[in-house]
């Protein structure tokens, strides 16, 4: 079983709807790699929950490398935004938000969409990527806005399971 990491200290208390969500400076992203949900979180504890796809839990050979494709459970920083030419892997826009391990180490991991999103979102348990975090286009648009508002850097935590105690009722 993958190691469970600890998320943020700020409790999440109010779920905000997709249409009401507005990215803010200081936002972060928590990715639950057990249940494959993402949580964009404001510093005040408001959050937006959405489905996502993480890495397959098996060995794969991809882009000339063989590795275990499960998305690592780590603390990251989203520090660069790129446009990739591969419009299947990175979706019609080619947008790729690269993740840096511990905020400094450049990695091959990132957040992006996928051309055949309906197919990948139907993968068992939503474990269908080669290790990256795959989101639907509207979510990627919000994540890109989050990146821009935070001047090209925001915290991303990937962890195996979310402690239900993190979610509290609004006082």
pTM tops 0.75, yes or no: yes
Phi-psi region at 47: left, alpha or beta (left = phi > 0; alpha = psi -120 to 50) = beta
State residue 111's pLDDT score.
Answer: 98
Which residues of the chain register pLDDT less than 50?
Answer: 1-7
**Domain spans, the chain:** 54-154
Are 78 and 29 a contacting pair, CB within 8 Å?
yes
State residue 170's pLDDT score.
Answer: 54
State residue 11's pLDDT score.
Answer: 74
Are 58 and 86 a contacting pair, CB within 8 Å?
no
State residue 85's pLDDT score.
Answer: 96
The secondary structure of the chain as a DSSP string is -PPP----SSPB-EE--TTT----TT-EEEEETTTTEEEEE-TTSEEEEEE-BEE-SSEEEETTEEEE-SPP--EEEEEEEEE-S-TTTTTTT-EEEEEEETTTEEEEEEEE--TTHHHHHTSGGGEEESSSEE--HHHHHHHHHHHHHTTS-EEEEEESS--GGGB----
């Amino acid at each position: 079983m993958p190691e469970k990491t600890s998320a943020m200290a700020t409790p999440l208390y109010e779920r905000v709807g997709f249409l009401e969500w507005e990215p803010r400076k200081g936002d972060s992203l928590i990715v639950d790699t057990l249940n494959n949900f993402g949580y964009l979180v404001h510093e005040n504890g408001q959050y937006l929950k959405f489905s996502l796809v993480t890495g397959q839990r098996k060995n794969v050979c991809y882009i000339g490398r063989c590795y275990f494709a499960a998305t690592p459970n780590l603390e990251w920083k989203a520090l660069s935004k790129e446009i990739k030419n591969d419009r299947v892997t990175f979706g019609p826009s080619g947008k790729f938000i690269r993740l840096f391990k511990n905020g400094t180490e450049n990695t091959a991991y990132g957040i992006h969409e996928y051309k055949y999103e309906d197919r990948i979102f139907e993968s068992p348990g939503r474990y269908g990527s080669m290790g990256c975090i795959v989101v639907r286009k509207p979510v990627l648009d919000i994540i890109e806005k989050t990146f821009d508002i935070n001047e090209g850097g925001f915290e991303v935590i990937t962890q195996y399971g979310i402690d239900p105690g993190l979610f509290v009722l609004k006082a």
